[in-house]
Structure 1
Amino acid sequence: MSPLSVYKLQESNVKFDSVDQLLDAMSPEIRNLTKISYKDFLTDAKFSKKFITELVQSIALVNYGQDVSIPAFVGCVSFAGAGEHLWAIKGGNKLLPKLLVKNSEANLLLNTTVNSVTYLGPNLFELSITDTTGQTSTKRYNSVIIATPLTENQIQFVNFSTDLNVNFPKRVYHRTVSTLVAGHLNKKYKGRDVLSDNESNFFTSIGRVYPVDDSTDEKIPVYKVFSRTPLSTEQLDLIFGDIQVVRVKDWYAYPHYDSVSKPLPPFILHPGVYHLNAIEWAASAIEMSLIGGKNAALLVYNQLGGKTSDVYTTKTFTIKPIIDEL
């Protein structure tokens, strides 16, 4: 089996109840990479200490804000993001979820808070929601997919026989601040992208941002700076000599991978309740989320009477393509 085999399995309606099952289907070696640190994995593979601390660690800091103590599988995913064969969507990567929602013909309740999920019986759940006007209402569903981190989540689970958060004790997400700056770099940083291999630095990377069509004729260049906390005016002035526009996105972007000993969580929290984000604890990336999303869809499909399998079959499950619109 190769890592890419998971796509063929999912096209054949193969579902997975847990992250471990999914990784095993991709390759048992991949699951083993979640049980060893990135540093130990590279050291065992005879990579030099300098290569690990100066190059590999800087890439891990850029992509996950964490050093090489992260699990090896997470580290390998971060290193893949440093390659030259990377893709972006013209018009912004935001078009991917927007068109997925559009083509699914889902009833999207944007900016609506889910307060609680109440179990009413087999295949029946009631959600309490609050909209942008502050109005609270309830809606009933046959299945629930949780597509948000379950760490110290505000969603209450009511009338379930077990605590649905039991699989996520003391799991936290890592804070990442992305600062977009239209301006010119100071001489110290000019003419190059900067990666930091030192966790004590106030930033982890400085990189030029280009349009998808690779246009380089902007009057004012745009840079993206990653950091763990918001940058002060003084810190920005250390990097830039001329600042025209600043935009900041401060969020908890991915799990904090503080241990290789924690078991990976399940996708099924309760019959009929599924957790897409469980896959992030193996590695966080849009490609991983898409695999987790397809698996959640297959679990629901199976719950509602569709034919799925735990082994490879030739039956396919099609989803309306959106590639032409992208």
Structure 2
Amino acid sequence: MLWIILSILRSIPLVGSFFSENDQSLYPVVQRLLKKTRKIAIIGYGVGGASTAYFLRELLGSSVELHVFGDGEVGGRAKVVELAGKKYEAGAVICNKKSLYMGALTKKFGLKKAMVPDDKFAIFDGIHFVFQSTASTLVTTLTLLWRYGFGIFKMLSYMHKQWRNFTGIYDMQRKGETFTDPAVMTKAMAMGNDSFYHLTQISADEHFLKELGWGSKMVNELVSGICRNIYSQNISDITAMVGAVSIAGAEAENLYTIVGGNFQVPMKALETSAVEVHNARVTKVSRVVTPDKTSPSFVLNYTEDEVVGQSEYWDAVIVACPLETSDIEFVGFDTDNWSSIKKLKFHRTVANLVHGKLNPKFFGAGEHKALPQVILTTQMKNPPVDFQTIHVQYPVSLNAQEAATIDTAQVYRVASSEPLTEDQLNLIFSEYTDHTVVDWTNAYPEYNVPENLGSFVLSDGVYYVNCIEHISSAMEMSCIGAKNVSLLATDYLHKQDQ
């Protein structure tokens, strides 16, 4: 895979030792029990909503009654589908061992990790491969240096620095620090020097080319390919922060998936948090005054099993689904904080999972030439088929050793902006026997420069997890947003106790 880039350079003496794995474990949590039992409604049971429930139960123990409302399958964008008799990830795929919360939850729930194999990769410009790795680490390393120069080492150093700064958020959250919005959070990170906030206000290409002085060939081919692989958007359209997160997702040695499917993390989080789960679509959140008029309260209207329902009274509401695309109506609120959010868009990404063999001729390769397991793309001009990336998708039932024994690809995942037609599939594949399409209309934000980061606080007692996606969208980011919102809600309810 593309992540071989960094693992190759790690094998170089004195270089690899500089980039060590984050060995932090989950910090002990001090419970803050309330004097009076409170009720919290969480809307959404993807990674963000489920981890919010988990963190709230840790913080508030038995002094809180938790209800989670969700429409569809538990896990949200962490989803598996079946193809050719096996199950494959169709949404969020990769976890990083440096991500404290996802790693801790995986360990807590007794789930097994499948480390990402160091697959071969190539970069496709719409006509031919401009770069292709080989089975030889030495040859690939020399080829990388020949084409991109010592900018490769700059990228490694940059990635290490950003990871080191980023992990400061865990220490702040351990201390109970809260942030009302992502702008405040990013300014507090990186030892308070505003560097992360700056990255949300400048484009990736301007940052890498002008501010860092990386070579244009490396940025337009390698970095662009990595960003398109992770977020399916061009480096001129995304923020430098999103670009930095993309590069951080290029570490083979630290990347893994969860055997059986990543959706198990949110599923287990709900199971262990003693929550009541409602398979229901929330349509309205209303702010009301309780009969005793001591504090504001909230009412939810929802549809469950085609039956319209209403629930009273909630002491706090946490929204853990994208408001940008939601039709939830908010009544009785000052809507300034979310009116700007509603104007933002989410990006559509289609996962075309295909059981077949790639066509070497389409990629300008010889008829019998072996193709890599991962194909990145540059910002192609008028390509015969418009796609962002192609990579082998291993069954979720495989562990690392079993995945490494697969000699020929059986299932490929092709990321595109629209479902591929039969004619397009016949161009990319010399033959295929089965395929399925998962159309993520709300895959992640349609990033803008500068980025509108939104707010975690929609109103007193109402909080929004998913605004953290405007920093960058990832399972670990959802957990960080969930932790912050859980701390905010805990502080709010303790004030109500006084």
**Is TM (by shorter chain) over 0.5?**
yes
The structure with more radius of gyration: 2
| Offset from partner CA, 1:199-245 (integer Å, 9 cap, x none) | 55411111012233342348871111100111101111112222222
User: 346, 354, 378: which one pairs with 1:197?
Assistant: 378
Between the aligned partners of 1:265 and 1:55, the Cα distance in structure 2 is 31
Residue 399 of structure 2 is matched in structure 1 by: 212
More displaced stretch, 298-307 vs 60-69: 298-307
Report the CA distance between 1:300 and its aligned residue.
1.1
Report sequence identity in percent: 34
Matched, 1:103 2:292: no
Q: How many residues align?
A: 304
Matched-pair contact (CA < 8 Å) for 1:18–1:265: yes
Q: Which residue of 2 aligns with 1:274?
A: 463
Paired residue for 2:259, among 87, 90, 94? 90
After TM superposition, give the deviation of residue 19 of structure 1 in Å.
0.6
Q: What is the match of residue 165 of structure 1?
A: 338
Residues 1:136 and 2:308 aligned together: yes
Q: Which piece of structure 1 moves more, 194-203 or 222-231?
A: 194-203
Question: Which amino acid in the other structure matches residue 212 of structure 1?
Answer: N
User: Where do 5+ consecutive residues of structure 2 fail to align?
Assistant: 1-163, 290-294, 364-369
Q: Secondary structure, in 3 states, of the residue corresponding to 2:278?
A: coil
Counterpart in 1 of 2:241? Answer: 73
- CA distance in 1 between counterparts of 2:443 and 2:432 reads 26
* 1:256 partner amino acid: E
> Residues of 2 paired with 1:253 and 1:24: CA distance?
26
| Equivalence for 1:318 | none
Instruction: Give yes or no for contact 1:34–1:72 (8 Å, CA) kept in 2.
Output: yes
Moved more, 47-56 or 187-196: 187-196
CA separation in 2, counterparts of 1:273 and 1:31? 24
SS at structure 1 position matched to 2:338: coil
Structure 2 residue aligned with 1:324: none
State the Cα distance separating 1:163 from its structure 2 match.
4.5
Deviation at 1:7, TM superposition (A): 0.8
CA distance in 1, matches of 2:360, 2:408: 18
AA aligned to 1:171 is L
Aligned AA (1:213): A
More divergent stretch after superposition (9-18 vs 161-170): 161-170
1:24 is matched with which residue: 172, 176, 187?
A: 187
SS at match of 1:305: helix
Q: Which structure is higher in helix share?
A: 2
SS in 1 for 2:400: coil
Aligned partners of 2:357 and 2:432 also within 8 Å:
yes
**CA distance in structure 2 between the aligned counterparts of 1:221 and 1:88, rounded to whole angstroms:** 18
1:83 Cα deviation (Å)?
2.2
State the Cα RMSD in Å.
Answer: 2.0
Question: Using a 3 Å threshold, how does the CA distance of structure 1 residues 263 and 204 change in structure 2: closer, same or farther?
Answer: closer
Which residue number corresponds to residue 352 of structure 2? 179
SS at match of 1:231: coil
Distance in structure 2 (CA, Å) of the matches to 1:264 and 1:102:
32
Amino acid at match of 1:64: Y
How far apart, CA to CA, are the structure 1 residues paired with 2:319 and 2:250?
30
Q: Which runs of 4+ in 1 moved over 6 A?
A: none
**Any idea what the Cα deviations from partners look like across 1:237-256, whole Å, max 9, x if unmatched?**
11222222212111120001
| Residue pair 2:338, 2:454 contacting (<8 A) in 1 also | no
SS in 1 for 2:436: strand
Q: Secondary structure at the match of 1:179?
A: strand
**Cross-structure match for 1:303:** 492
CA deviation string 1:254-295 (max 9, x = no partner): 0011221x4421100000110101101111111111100111
CA deviation vs aligned residue, 1:18-62 (integer Å, no higher than 9, x gap): 111211222221111111111111112111111111111111111
The alignment partner of 1:182 has SS state of strand
Which residues of 2 match residues 8-23 of structure 1 at below 5 A? 8-23=171-186
Task: Say if 2:319 is the partner of 1:146.
Answer: yes
Offset of 1:169 from its aligned partner?
A: 4.6
